[in-house]
Amino acid sequence: MQSEAKTVAVYLKEVPEERRKVMTALTTLCKKTLVGFDEGMEYGMPYYKKGGLTVGVASQKNYISVYGLRKQAAELGAKLEGAKEGKGCINFTKPELIDLKVLEKLLVAKRNAE
């Protein structure tokens, strides 16, 4: 979903109902874990950045995508059941397949990559 929303809160209101809960949980997890990162909207999705480190989350037509964590997933050997690697992202076909505990570990690794 390429959004014209100017804030994450407005973006989340636009997300389809069946994905809103997990997208809200993802953005909350990013805010909690990525301490010192700025939250905003870029490329039509919620984005978190600090210096050269970035993470984005998006509700796409067929996926929920998490950008910027592929390197951390490979380094940690993270088990992401039901996920597929896309160009620069990790795609989840079903919201219920997203393991927030695993993603939290990846976010911590990203935060500590400075």
Determine the pLDDT at residue 55: 97
- The answer to whether residue 84 sits within a structural domain is yes
Q: Per-residue pLDDT tens for 35-78?
A: 999 999 999 999 999 998 999 999 998 999 999 999 999 888 88
Domain holding 80, by residue range, is 8-108
From the CB of residue 42, how many other CB atoms can be counted at a distance below 10 Å? 11
Q: Dihedrals φ, ψ of 90, to 5°?
A: -115, 125
Q: Do the domain assignments include residue 3?
A: no
Cα–Cα dist 91/31, whole Å: 20
Nearest residue to 72 (alpha-carbon basis) of 105, 49, 114 = 105
**What is the tally of structural domains in the chain?**
1
Q: Say what the pTM is.
A: 0.91
Element (H, E) at 50: strand 45-50
Cα 76 to its chain centre, rounded Å, is 17
